[in-house]
Amino acid sequence: MAKDYPEITPEVQRFIERQPLFFVATAPLAVDGHVNLSPKGQECFRVFGPDRVGYLDLTGSGNETAAHLAENGRITFMFCAFGGAPRILRLHGRGRVVLPNTDDWADLAPHFPTVPGARQIILAEIQRVSTSCGMAVPLMDYTGQRDNLRVWAEAKGADGLVAYREEKNRHSIDGLEAPRS
């Protein structure tokens, strides 16, 4: 059932670590702006402490999360149990983008797998941790991570990824500028 936690407890952290999929939600301040909700995988989420988390963000078709965080910092993570006991976990917080070639990147990057196409780390200070029942979430079998993004990023190469990000990842769909390295 629903429960609030004072922080990310060891039990909550174990639940997070068992989930192969999580969702990230952000939104611009503008009332007519688009809320973004993105699924994430690749085992790129890390708990750094009772109120600090991060994930390695990979190159994608957009960069909404980074643009929204640059504007207002609001972020929510959601994890769902698709097997075992029903449960939904939400982490509400304030996030920021950590770009390559920064001191924070040098400190954080070793905690993540080396993945082609990595573009930034999303780091968040968590202000609220809560669970809800999840009894309507379907049971699903996990068969593994997709390799499509890795294959695509390797084919693009370092220079191709830089050019792609410059063309496709500079602004949100609402025109907000995303941080760039």
CA-based nearest residue to 50, from 8, 95, 22: 8
181: pLDDT strictly greater than 80:
no
| DSSP class per residue in 62-116 | --HHHHHHHHT-EEEEEEE-SSSS--EEEEEEEEEEE-TTSHHHHHHGGGS---T
CATH of the domain spanning 3-136+144-168, picked from 3.40.50.360, 3.40.50.720, 2.30.110.10, 3.40.190.80: 2.30.110.10
**171-55-60 Cα angle (round to 5):** 35
Q: Of the ranges 14-28, 76-90, 123-137, 167-181, which one carries the lowest mean pLDDT score?
A: 167-181
Residue spans per domain, the chain: 3-136+144-168
- 129-177 pLDDT, tens digit per residue, is 999 999 999 999 999 999 999 999 999 999 999 999 999 999 999 999 9
Calpha distance 96→83 (Å, rounded):
31
92 contact partners, CB below 8 Å, separation of at least 6: 75, 76, 126, 127, 128, 129, 130
Task: Supply the pTM of this predicted model.
Answer: 0.95
